[in-house]
Amino acid sequence: MNPSILRPLALGAAVLAVTALLFGRARAGDDDYYPPVTDQLTLQECASCHIAFPPSMLPAASWKRMMGELDNHFGDDASIDAESNAAITRYLTEHAGDAPGQASKLLRGVRAGDAPQRITELPKWVREHDEVPKSDWARKDVGSKANCTACHIDAERGYFEDD
């Protein structure tokens, strides 16, 4: 075959491959994308122990309750000074899944006013993860259901699609 014909075909194939890759991953507005934490104080305090969970994954009532109970944060004392607590609470509630302008699909099935504390117990999360064998959660490199980055390599960037 003529090499001058092969070049455009190869270029076309490369463009198609890149396009498929880009459109195949979760995008902003997708069920699997949650805007990541951008506030530096929140990142500093929360991500020092675990992923800084996107605020849109929980309603404002959950963040208020969680920030009010940092002395017993899932069995640990995660207390911080009052000024930092107020600033982080403000950031989390302003970006919560039920905040104006947010439409978190993860909160489907959560009644208005409820304050769930575990993202891993939300109805949509449970449905999305029901096919994961119990043995996977027990693996040493996973450790717990809250270790999103064990399976979702771009979780810290807000992408929670299946990897």
What are the pLDDT digits (tens) for 44-100? 999 998 999 999 999 999 999 999 999 999 999 999 999 999 999 999 999 999 999
Give a yes or no: residue 133 inside a domain: yes
Closest residue by Cα to residue 145 from 132, 154, 157, 156: 132
Q: Is pLDDT of 112 > 90?
A: no
How many domains are there within the chain? Answer: 1
Give a yes or no: residue 15 inside a domain: no
Give a yes or no: residue 21 inside a domain: no
Give a yes or no: residue 56 inside a domain: yes
Give a yes or no: residue 9 inside a domain: no
Q: Is pLDDT of 14 > 60?
A: no
Mean pLDDT of the chain: 83
Q: What is the pLDDT of residue 89?
A: 98
Give a yes or no: residue 12 inside a domain: no
Q: What is the pLDDT of residue 3?
A: 56
* CB-based contacts of 147, cutoff 8 Å, min separation 6: 50, 51
Q: Is pLDDT of 105 > 70?
A: yes
Count CA atoms closer than 13 A to 13's CA, side-chain side: 6
User: What residues make up the domain containing 93?
Assistant: 27-157
* 31, 89, 107, 109, 119 from 129: Cα distances, Å: 14, 28, 15, 16, 12
Give a yes or no: residue 16 inside a domain: no
pTM of structure: 0.78
CA 12 to chain centre: 35
Q: What is the pLDDT of residue 66?
A: 96
Q: Is pLDDT of 20 > 90?
A: no
* 15, 16, 71, 85 from 20: Cα distances, Å: 9, 6, 47, 43
Q: Is pLDDT of 163 > 50?
A: yes
- Residue bearing the bigger pLDDT, 7 or 146: 146
Give a yes or no: residue 162 inside a domain: no
Q: How confident is the model at residue 5 (pLDDT cuts 50, 70, 90)?
A: low
